[in-house]
Amino acid sequence: MPKHHYVPRMLLKNFAVDEDKKYINIHLLNDDKFLYKKALYGQAQENNLYGSDQKLEQFFCELETVTSLVLAKLNTRNINLSNEEQWHIKLFMVNQLSRTPGFVSVQDNCFEKLFMKMASHDKRIKNYIDEFGISINDPYKLYFSFSIDLLSVILDLRIGLLESNNEEYSFIIGQNPVILLNPYLNEKENWIWSTQGLAMKGLIMVMPISPRFALILYDSRRYTLLNNDSKWIISSSDVEKLNDFQYCNTVECIYFANLLNEEQYKQKNTLYRNYRESDKANFEIIGSSIDEKTGYKTEITRTGTKEFPIVQKFSFLAYKAIEYYKPIISYSDAKREHIYDVNIIRNNRLNNKRSRM
């Protein structure tokens, strides 16, 4: 049975401990044990994860082949990417976000909670909802189709490169390596919705690509680089904080190349264990009303991923004042300006299709 890697080997190889890139170090989180120089090939994989027809796996293989060349370029501190290279990086990032079992599990829980809440208002089945559940057939193919559609949503993000300034503080990588952050919306006191949407103002996507470098995609209308360059040499404290997010976002293990302070990283494991093992599918009712004429009750719900238990402040990141003080009240206020252009293009395409029918 074919093995499908949900964190590509070409990415994990950048964290290998040997020149032949066959071995890697692992922190097993459930047992809180460190394993050194273990075979890299069998990591972050499952049997037939993307379907027996191998079509999705073949697409990922082709995408990884192209992306590996761009990552190799970035790992030489070369951030001068062509438009085509930038497109491939963004396509890879948005697919890597949604191709892992951890991501699918959270999304499945979100769908189930939403369905159960809706079913609880249906008189025909509300007394029987404990007898059934809901699941998605071929979830990876479904989220792949979403990812392709969502690529246009992140095309406005600027690409940057984060570099550790100290060999003793290096980047690590987990089983869900793409981290969605949003310091901008996290600081808005009146914002009650999720901050992790790809269309949101202030979005940041971070993924470690080697012990020395992490790739960052960021909303350049909200943030600026303090050194006015696309390459940021960041402090050890910022590296450690980004590593904290990997501990929050992974499932069972962390991969690393350079030797870690075991006691320090065991503390990270303990500190973020409750969050990591919690139900990250966030679903809550934040408002309701009753129609006086019909008696129908309307509920406003918030769905999404549970927020990280880490303050999102970084010394390498600065806000643009003209945007920082703009109020964000409604959901439409929080969408990046680019999204409206994307929606216009989508509607035009849809109308053109209808006109040809």
At 209-237, the pLDDT tens digits run 999 999 999 999 999 877 656 678 899 99
Query: Which is higher by pLDDT, 129 or 150?
Result: 150
Bigger pLDDT: 279 vs 91: 91
For a pLDDT cut of 70, what percent of the chain falls above it? 94
pLDDT digits (tens, 9 = 90+) for 162-208: 999 888 899 999 999 999 999 999 998 878 778 888 999 999 999 99
- What is the per-residue pLDDT for 297? 74
* Residue-level pLDDT at 228: 53
Nearest to 110 by CA among 194, 4, 30: 194
pLDDT of residue 303: 76
Residue 351 has pLDDT above 70, yes or no: no
Domain range for 24 is 3-356
In this predicted structure, what is the pLDDT of residue 179? 98
Give residue 242's pLDDT: 97
Q: Residue 354: pLDDT above 70?
A: no
pLDDT at position 340: 64
Using 50, 70 and 90 to split pLDDT, how confident is the model at 133? confident
Quote the number of domains for the chain.
Answer: 1
Across all residues in the chain, what is the average pLDDT?
Answer: 89
Question: Is the pLDDT at 134 greater than 80, yes or no?
Answer: no
Q: What is the pLDDT of residue 66?
A: 97
pLDDT for residue 281: 82
Interval 274-332: pLDDT, tens: 999 998 887 777 777 787 787 777 777 777 788 999 999 999 999 998 888 888 888 78
